[in-house]
Chains A and B, each alone.
Chain A
Amino acid sequence: MLEKKRLNTAEYDANFSDIHPPFETRDAALVEANRCLFCYDAPCTKSCPTGINVPKFIKQITTDNLKGSAHTILSSNIMGAGCSKVCPVEKLCEGACVFNLMEEAPIPIAKLQRYSTEKALEQNWQLFQRKPSNGKRVAVIGAGPAGLSCAHSLAREGVSVTIYEKEEKGGGLMTYGIAAYKVTPQFCEDEVNYILSIGGIKVKYGQALGKQIQLSDLQQQYDAVYLAFGVGLARSLSIPGEELSGVTDAIGFIYDIRTKGFSAVSVGDKVVVIGMGMTAIDAATQAKRLGAKEVTMVYRRTETEMPCTKAELDIAKLDGCEIIWLAAPKTLIGKDGQLTAIECERMELGAPDSSGRRSPVVTGETFVLETDMVIKAAGQMPYTDLVSKTSLQHKNGCVTTDANGVTNLTGVFAGGDCVNGGKEVVDAVQAGKDGAKAILSYLNL
C-alpha cells in the first residue's frame, strides 16, 4: 500500500540528516589537513574534472588562510561547496590520493573542501570581482551546475547574463535530483545565491525552452546562447505493466522528496528499485528512509559492472536494502490497475558490449517479487523531442559540440548533461567553464 507520512518529524530528521558530517572543529580539520603530503602535479588534482588544486587548498587550511583556500577551490569549481557533498570522490580525488598506494586512508579531501567552502558561503566571502560591464549579453538555458558555472565565469568577465530556468529554483539536479541526506534544499539555495552574488546574472524562473522561450528568439536577442538544460526523462523499461499505479521513476520520486517534503511523498511497503546507478541508490535509500518496510534493488549485471561506486552501494546496504544481481524486469503484474508484483528474468554475463562491460544475457529462468511500488532508475533520457525541434546537431538527443562546447549554430554553445547524456555535477561545472571560455573567445573578450 502506498502511504504518505509513515514517520514522525523526528524520524524524518534523523533519517535525512547529513550523511557526511563536517569537521566539528578547526583542530579536527587540521589533523587531516596536516597529513596531506602536498604532492607535486598531484594525482588528486589530475583526477578532478575541474582540476581543483587540492594540495594547495589543503595547505592553505593548515596556514589558517581559509579565504585563500576557498578561493583556490571556487576559482576552479564555483560549485565546490556542493561538490564536496555530492562528488563520488572515491573514484575521483580521494580515489587517486597517494596514501591509497601505501594502504593508508586517503586524505578526506571532500570533507576538507567542505570545511573551507562552507565558511565562504556562511560568511558570504566575495572572492571574485566582476569586471565592469562590457555590454555583451548572453542567455543561459538552465540554472543547473553547467549553466551556473558558465554564467559565473561570464559574469566575472563583465558579460550580462540572463539564465532561463524551467523550475522555480536554481541548482538543477543538485536541487532536484540528489538524495536529501547529501544536500539540503536550504544548502542548494544558499549555494545558488552565493554564486549569483557576484552580480551581472539575472535568473528568470519558470521559463522552459520550447515552451515559454524559443532558441531562435534568444539567438536574436542575445550575443550568444549557452544551452545547459540537462537531461530529465526517465528511461522506460519497455515491459508490460508500466502504466500500473505504483510504478514510478526515480527522477520523479526524488523530485517529489526535494520539493514536497518528506511527509508528503508516498512510499510502498515493499519497494523494488530497478537499476544500480547513483540515482537508483538515492531512490532506494530514500524509499527506505521514508519508511518503506522492504527495499529490493534489481540489477541485470553484477557488482563489477555497476555504475554506482562501492561507497554508494554500501550506503544502500547499510540502509538495509536487498540487492538482487543478474536480474532484469520482465513484467509488472497488477490487480485492478494496482501494482502487486514484478516478474524478473535471471540473467548471466555474456560478451562485452560497447561500454566494455560484459552484457547481460537472459537465462530463461524467472522469479516473482511481491511489490506495491516499483521505482524505475534505469537511466535518464535526453530531451530528444526538444532538441529535434531546433536545427541543433545532435546524437540521439544529446547536443553535438566540439570539446569547447561549440555547437553547429553560430553563437550557440552547449554543455553539461544535455551534451554528455548525464555525468557528475563536477563534470557539468567544468563544461560550464569550457563553454564560457569559448563564448568569451567568440565575443572577442
Chain B
Amino acid sequence: MAASLHTDFLGIQSPNPFWLASAPPTDKKINVLRAFEAGWGGVVWKTLGSQVKNVSSRYSAVDFNGTRVMGLNNIELISDRPLEINLREIRECIKLFPDRAMIVSLMADNNRESWHELINQVEDTGAHGIELNFGCPHGMTERGMGAAVGQDPEIARMVVEWVMEKATIPVITKLTPNVHSPVPTGKACVEAGTNALSLINTIQSVTGIDLDSFVPNPNVGGKSVFGGYCGPAVKPIALKMLTNISQNNTTKKVPISGIGGISTWKDAVEFMLLGSTSVQVCTAVMKHGFRIIEDLCDGMLNWMEEKGFEKTTDFIGKSVDNITHWEDLDINFHHIAKINPDKCIHCGLCYIVCEDTSHQSIQLTYGKPYNTYTVKEEECVGCNLCKLVCPVNDCITMEENRVAPEYLNWKDFQRLGLPLNDH
C-alpha cells in the first residue's frame, strides 16, 4: 500500500501536513489560491483583529557564508486590510478548495466581547479552525496583545477561557518562544480548554546593523525596532520548545502544529518525530515561493515508503522519548573518531579544531603539500567536532568503543563512587 500524507488535525482534514503559517503569504486570496494550486495542505490566514497600520521597510535577513536568508526577521503587524474583505476572501477560498485546511489566526482586543465578536464572524466564513496569536513579539505587545498575552500564563488562560466560551470549531493556541519555557503558558492554555497548541512564533531579534549608517536592520527612516526572527536559524530552538510541550504531562494531551524554520521535508519529519501532527511553513516560501511544496510532499512520501510508514501517525512523536535528562545518559557509552585515509582530502580542519578547541586528539604528520591526519584514540573523547567540520561525507566516522558493556548513568556513577576526571 502506498503511503499517504493525509492529515487529520482535530477533525480538520488536509491532504498533507504542510500548512502555511499565519504571515504575509496568507494575508489575501490571491496568495492563498496560488498556494492551494501549488499543493499546500492548508493555511493559517494572517492574523485578524484590531485596526493596525504597517511601516516600511518590514523585513531584514541574516546571510551566512554567501547563503542568503539563513534567518529572517520582520516587524510587520497583523493584517492591515479591512476585516470584511478578509472574511469574504476566506469564504471564497474555502469554496474553491474545500479539501484544504483553513485556519484563521486571531488577535482581538483584550476583552471578552471583542474575542466573541471576532470568533462569531470567523466561524461564519466556514473556516475549519482558529489559531490564537499569543506570540507576535513586536508592535502588538505594546498594546498588551500578542506575546504580551503569551508571556503571562494567567492572561493567556483568561483569554483562552473567553475563546472557549464561544468557539465551536477547533482552537489552536500559538505560543511565543520569548519565554524561558513555553510550558507554563502552554499548560495554562490547555487547562483553559484550548484544543491544540502550535509553536513557535518568532523570536525577538536584531539581525544586524548597517556599518555605514549605524542604523540596525530593518531601517525605518533611520530607526529600527526588535523584529521577530524566523527561518532555518531558529529551527533548533523551535525543536527544543516543541519537545518541552510534547513531554509535559498536561500539554502533551493536545495535538501540536509545529513551526520554526521548516524548509525541507527532513525538517518537517523532525518536527513530526517530536510530536507535531501538522507543520507550518513561512520563511522558506518567502524565500522560494510556493513551489517548494512539491519536494516537501515528495520527499516525505519517499522517506515514509522507505521506512515502511503508511500514514504520518505511524511516526509522529517517535523521537519524543529519545530526548531525556542528562543524568539518565549512559556514561559507559563511548565512541572514537576514525578518519578514512582514502576519503581524506587533507584540509586539516579536523586537526585545527581539535587542537585549538578540543582535546588535541588528532595527529598531524607533515607532508608537502598534503599532511596526514590520524586520530589519537586514547585522547579522543568522542565529541563529534571533527566529524562536524569535515567537508567530506563519511570521511570521519564515530566508532563505538564502550567503556563497559553495562548501562551506567550519572546517578549510579555517584552512588558507586566511581572516579572522576578520567580524561
Contact = CB atoms under 8 A, between A and B. Distances in A.
A403 B220 CA distance: 63
B348 interface: yes
A98 B346 contact: yes
B65 A40 contact: no
10 contacts: A31-B66, A34-B65, A37-B347, A40-B348, A41-B352, A42-B347, A43-B370, A62-B65, A102-B345, A102-B392
Interface of A: 30-31, 33-34, 37-44, 46-47, 62, 96, 98-99, 101-102
B364 interface: yes
Question: Which interface residue of A33, A37, A62, A99 has the most chain B CB atoms within 10 A?
Answer: A37
Interface string B388-407: 00011000000000000000
Given A31-B66, A102-B392, A39 B349 contact: yes
A39 B348 contact: yes
Given A37-B391, A96-B369, A102-B392, A43 B346 contact: yes
A33 B66 CA distance: 9
A41 B65 contact: no
Q: 4 closest Cβ contacts across the A-B interface? A: A40-B348, A34-B66, A43-B369, A40-B352
Given A41-B364, A41-B371, A102-B392, A30 B349 contact: no
A343 to B, nearest CB: 44
Nearest to A45: B369
Interface string B233-260: 0000000000000000000000000000
Contacts of B351: 40-41
A47 B369 contact: yes
A40 B349 contact: yes
Nearest to A35: B66
A214 B221 CA distance: 71
Nearest to B348: A40
B371 A98 contact: no
B364 A98 contact: no
B180 interface: no
Contacts of B347: 37, 39-40, 42, 98
B368 interface: yes
Contacts of B371: 41
Main secondary structure of the interface of B (DSSP, over half): loop
A31 B391 CA distance: 17
A41 B348 contact: yes
B368 A101 contact: no
Interface in B320-369: 345-349, 351-352, 364, 368-369
A38 B349 CA distance: 8
Nearest to B368: A46
A46 B347 CA distance: 12
B346 A101 contact: yes
Contacts, number: 44
Contacts of A101: 345-346
A303 B83 CA distance: 78
A99 B345 CA distance: 8
Nearest to B65: A34
Given A40-B351, A41-B348, 4 more contacts: A34-B65, A41-B364, A46-B368, A98-B346
Contacts of A33: 66
B65 A46 contact: no
Interface string B43-80: 00000000000000000000001100000000000000
A37 B351 CA distance: 14
A33 B65 CA distance: 9
B66 A30 contact: yes
B345 to A, nearest CB: 4
A39 B371 CA distance: 11
A30 B68 CA distance: 12
Contacts of B364: 41
A47 B368 CA distance: 8
A307 to B, nearest CB: 21
A43 B349 CA distance: 12
Contacts of A39: 346-349
A319 B78 CA distance: 64
Nearest to B64: A34
A101 B346 CA distance: 9
A62 B64 CA distance: 10
A38 B353 CA distance: 12
A69 to B, nearest CB: 16
A29 to B, nearest CB: 10
Interface string B104-133: 000000000000000000000000000000
A434 B183 CA distance: 67
Nearest to A41: B348
Contacts of A34: 65-66
Contacts of A31: 66
Contacts of A99: 345
Question: Which interface residue of A33, A34, A99, A102 has the most chain B CB atoms within 10 A?
Answer: A102
Contacts of A102: 345, 392
A21 B392 CA distance: 31
Nearest to B67: A34
A31 B68 CA distance: 12
A41 B65 CA distance: 21
Contacts of B348: 39-42
A98 B345 CA distance: 6
Contacts of B391: 37
Contacts of B352: 40-41
A41 to B, nearest CB: 5
B308 to A, nearest CB: 34
B233 to A, nearest CB: 18
A42 B348 CA distance: 8
Nearest to B392: A102
